[in-house]
Structure 1
Amino acid sequence: MYIKRILLVIVLGGLLVGGAFAYMVYNAFFVPNTKFNNPEAYLYIPSEASFKEVKDQLEPLLENLDTFESAAERKGYASNIKGGKYRIKKGMNNNELINSLRSGNIPVKVAFNNQETLQSLAGRISIQIEADSLSLLRAFEEVDFLRENGFDKDNALSLYIPNSYEFFWNTSAFDFRKRMLKEYDRFWNRERKKKADALGMSPKEVVALASIVHKESAKVDERPRVAGVYINRLKKGMLLQADPTVIYALKKASGNFDQVIKRVLYKDLELESPYNTYKYAGLPPGPITMPDISAVDAVLNAEKHDYYYFVANVKNFGYHMFAENLTQHNRNKKQYIRWINAQKINR
């Protein structure tokens, strides 16, 4: 009888201990543990983050950080942190939280366009992924990479096709560059290369011309006509005489690409720069901005016409007046000069 009581006590004690353990496990893994009100929250975990850094981000989002830490230790997550962007949903328990942080790295949208320099591109990308602007710029300017892929510092910007792309937030600078090279090769498919060949241009030269077209006209429907003007000039051996190239040369010479130059002065045309298409024949050494895809395709599908000149149309802002000869052009230009003087635009 005494032995039976002892056994009963042992069994009951075991049940109590087991129950307590089961409760602790249940509480650690399966009780909802979020305290934010929005449907979901996001964590951006650096590639080399410690478990403490993850906990610091989670602390304001969780009801009980201790139970999360206990569950993370048991599941091995605490010693196997993975960088990236992660979504956690309202009402998740610790088990779900850890599973999401372990394998739920979600992509981010990375968009860029119209950057004038590799520096500004690096800055634009750095606010969208983990890589900082300095590491990105180093990757963009790496001499060996540029040489191996047929680029140089002057035309390196043409490698980056402006668009919206999906990346993991923790993408490194070199992985970003590698992906952009693939996108460049994909963009320059057989059809586009064939059209470039027909113009007697390489893809990099097309982008250089497209950057001028992009700056000359914001109207997508007019860009093929503007492109046709410059192609006519190139074929005839004329100077391009594109004001945007002079503006770029002025900015490059000063090192200040943030300055706004609305008017090119006659003295600016004397600036010694390979980008000054009033002094140097042919295309500039590289793009003066990152042209839209529409500008690139405008060059590849340039309108065939006999225009060699154009000037802003003050009666239809955003568009231009085109001329086949200098007499017509000078007549059109007078209207523009009168208008710009009336606006008192001196620079």
Structure 2
Amino acid sequence: MSWYLENAKSIETELEVQAQQYQLTLTKPPGALGQLEHVAIRLAGCQGQLHPELSNIHISVFASDHGVAQQGVSAFPQAVTSEMVKNFAQGGAAITVLAKQLNAQFEVVNLGTIFPVDAHDQIVDARIGSGTKDFSQEKAMSQAELQQALLAGQSAALRAKQRESHLFIGGEMGIANTTSASALAAAYLNLPAIELVGPGTGLSADQLPKKAQIIEAAIELHQANNPIEILQCLGGFEIVGLVGAYIACAQQGTPVLVDGFISTAAALIAQAINPSIKPWLFYSHQSHEPGHIKLLAALNAQPLLNIGMRLGEGSGAAVVVSLMQSAVALHNEMATFAQAGVSESED
């Protein structure tokens, strides 16, 4: 059996029940903190302790180029992928600013940029090749390349575990990867591509039908029947890396905070491959990419925020960490009715 099919670590449901009961003793009406209460309760179950922790954050941004970019599905040239990898390493990108603010462990995992990237302490060189092949013409990657990318994701998850991280965030960078994410979702959910494609890096509305047509033709070409085949035919190395990381995090007991559209497409496929990972995935925000709401609905996922973000990189998830930290602080530090000498409800 392949490692990614092994069951995720079990959630300690008894601790979730205890945390839920503890919430009822805090000096507030039951449910008054909304989703913040659910975040703290779920983290208690994940960590196996009544009072969870959320200070040690790990962020891995996976990067790779896409062969389908040559079909004109992006507003930016492919050189931007490697240029942004350098920008991540130098601390100039949105996600690196947010990672610094969170005092998070941060790394960029280069799985396959077309253009070379110099060695850097924060860049993990895990190159599989010079990007994927053009999936509108052939399979995006070989079976061996798929396995390599999954293992690169697993390695990132293991690094997070070794650093005793309380939360894993996976980001992505790759020109044309909204096309890949839309194709994965359309193929797996059996939805028309036009319902899932969006502007990505800045396509105009009149360019979206062409993007959808390319995806529809690719789905028809490959006729992939299961999530692993769909991932091999239509995925990107960085998306596969995210899939591997999400599964491995759940297997070793590290909660995951999923970012936007592309990261959620990876979560959709990861959960299709290994349904046992579901309790370990938190969803940070609803992206402004129009297809994201359909992915969240398919996953029955409730994101914590909707503030119109669609940058990727893991940036939306990084913004939401402070919200989750507030949930943990409220759960751990609020007084109980007994401690505060406050009368409880008579109901």
- The interval holding the TM-score normalised by the smaller chain is under 0.3
TM-score (norm 1): 0.22
TM-score (norm. length: structure 2):
0.22
Computing the radius of gyration from Cα coordinates, the structure with the larger value is 1
